[in-house]
Amino acid sequence: MNDEDFKRRYGPVALVTGASSGIGDAFAEALAARGLDVVMVARRRDRLEALAARLTTTYGVQARALQVDLGQPDAAQQMLDAVGELDVGLVVSNAGFGLKGEHAANDPQAMAEMLMVNCNVPMQLAHGFIPRLRARGRGGIILTSSVEGLIGCPYSTAYSATKALVVALGEGLWAELQPEGIDLLTLCPGATESEAAAKQGIDITKLQNVMPAAEVARLTLDNIQNGPTFISSDHYRASFEALLSMPRRDALRAMAAGMKPR
């Protein structure tokens, strides 16, 4: 699809959560490059405002910063209220975070927040925006899950469970929305350059097969009509296909051996 067709179908405005860094920042830029106005959501207002200024200057689009704490139960409603009458044709529910290590050692409060940000927000955002997309008769929703949503991932168990919810949400919505001309794609990234690794105490320079966030965003937008699920990395697609073809217990034991903190 060329940029003009993309903008006609998914523009004029896209909403992107988690746009203050990593994959969300890259989504916002890739969408602005295709000529869409963007509403960018996160907590760090300074980051959003700097990005908005850059996107406006570089691409001549309208870029708005919207500070929302997605851990709040009314976060989706705050976003719906803030966009008001803007004609949002694409919703990118991307914000999220992970917790690594033994499940019993996780902070219960952090797990509760993770459920809100990773699960409640995409579920409520889709619920709120579907009637608006339906009224337009065209548009799309992108949900960022993870390859860890495709199988229970030991030593990242709670995060993996939140991302499995996103995969299931995306599959169901894909089948509901496809006949109505609304595209749904669930992105499952493998390791990607962002702030996520450092936030989880992982040295990203020690990881292999790490993709640039800009490439993940570009490939995802290029594949928006190839739902329900898209694994952005060839390496992770091949390794997860192999894993998922194994007897489940063997796959989980192999993963546990690889993931166990040393």
Ligand X SMILES: NC(=O)c1ccc[n+]([C@@H]2O[C@H](COP(=O)([O-])OP(=O)(O)OC[C@H]3O[C@@H](n4cnc5c(N)ncnc54)[C@H](OP(=O)(O)O)[C@@H]3O)[C@@H](O)[C@H]2O)c1
Which residues form the catalytic set? 159
- Is 44 among the residues that bind ligand X (CB under 6 A)? yes
Q: Which stretch binds ligand X (CB under 6 A): 36-44, 170-178, 237-245, 252-260?
A: 36-44
- Is 154 among the residues that bind ligand X (CB under 6 A)? no
Element containing residue 256 per DSSP (H, E):
helix 248-259
Q: Which stretch binds ligand X (CB under 6 A): 2-10, 82-90, 177-185, 195-203?
A: 195-203
- Is 195 among the residues that bind ligand X (CB under 6 A)? yes
- Is 21 among the residues that bind ligand X (CB under 6 A)? yes
Residues 196 and 29: their CA atoms lie apart, in Å, by: 19
| Terminal-to-terminal C-alpha distance of the chain | 46
Q: Which alpha helices (H) appear in 11-44, and where do they start and end?
A: 22-33
List 20, 160, 186, 220, residue binding ligand X (CB under 6 A): 20
**Could you tell me the smallest distance in angstroms from the CB atom of residue 145 to ligand X?**
7
CA Rg value for the chain: 18
Q: Which stretch binds ligand X (CB under 6 A): 16-24, 54-62, 131-139, 172-180?
A: 16-24
- Is 170 among the residues that bind ligand X (CB under 6 A)? no
Strand partners, 142: 92, 185
Cα–Cα–Cα angle for 114, 118, 121, nearest 5°?
A: 115
**Could you tell me the smallest distance in angstroms from the CB atom of residue 66 to ligand X?**
10
Distances (CA, A) of 240 to 12, 116, 143, 174: 36, 27, 19, 21
Window 107-136: contact mask with ligand X (x via CB under 6 A): ----------x-------------------
Cα–Cα–Cα angle for 64, 67, 68, nearest 5°?
A: 130
The single residue listed with the structure tokens 């998922």 is 244
- Is 150 among the residues that bind ligand X (CB under 6 A)? no
Contacts with ligand X by CB under 6 A lie at 18-24, 42-44, 47, 68-71, 94-98, 117, 144, 146, 189, 191-192, 194-196, 199
